[in-house]
Amino acid sequence: MLKGKKIIIFGDGGEIGVESLKRWLEAADAEVVLGRQDCFS
Amino acid sequence: MSQENVARIAEEQNKDNLIAIWGISDIQPLIIGAITINKGDCFGFSGALANKELGLKSYHVLEPEIIAAIPQTIYAQEIMFIELSKDPSKLQMIFEIMRALRDSATLDKLMSKIENHDESSGPLMNEILKSVNPKFALPK
């Protein structure tokens, strides 16, 4: 379901950080268009 | 600034092909974030998403449909141990919340709760959680 999708990622600043998320999702043929290491709150 | 970046990207991209994926496992910021990028900032952060509905759907990265799309070798080497370290009941709670926030009818009901929230009925976040599942509550 991720192939060709554009994705905004929000990391947890820890073990599921932006770098990991980006690597995992790009391996699924998705394109990360924005990565943030936190949320809005 | 953060909301501005998300708003800009959403305006530049085809929204039908754009989703958000979260690594955060803290319930409160996850709910606030997922609602904000779908229905706009209704929690008073006064950012660029105030009154701006982007309509973006959110997933948690450990949801089964996301995991199924990631190559098995990467799952086995990098993700499985993280998943196993999480409280399974909390993960199921997160998955149920994310499914609810992707459902337009459920989300509209939640928005009504948020807009009409009365502090005397308890914390807003617990109201939202109970709307998703009456058994849910924030940890004390």
Tens of pLDDT, residues A1-41: 899 999 999 999 888 999 999 999 999 999 999 998 877 75
pLDDT at A41: 56
Q: Which residue of A has its CA nearest to B46?
A: A40
DSSP-H helix ranges across chain B: 2-12, 27-39, 64-69, 72-74, 80-85, 88-102, 104-115, 124-132
Please give, rounded to a whole number of angstroms, the shortest distance from the CA of A19 to a CA of chain B: 11
pLDDT at B140: 66
Task: Record the pTM.
Answer: 0.93
First-to-last C-alpha distance (Å) of chain A = 29
Tell me whether residues B23 and A7 touch, CB distance under 8 A: no
Residue B56 pLDDT > 60: yes
B32 with A40: CB under 8 angstroms? yes
Chain B partners of A39 at a C-beta cutoff of 8 Å? 24, 29-30, 32-33
Closest C-alpha to B91, from B22, B34, B43, B35:
B22
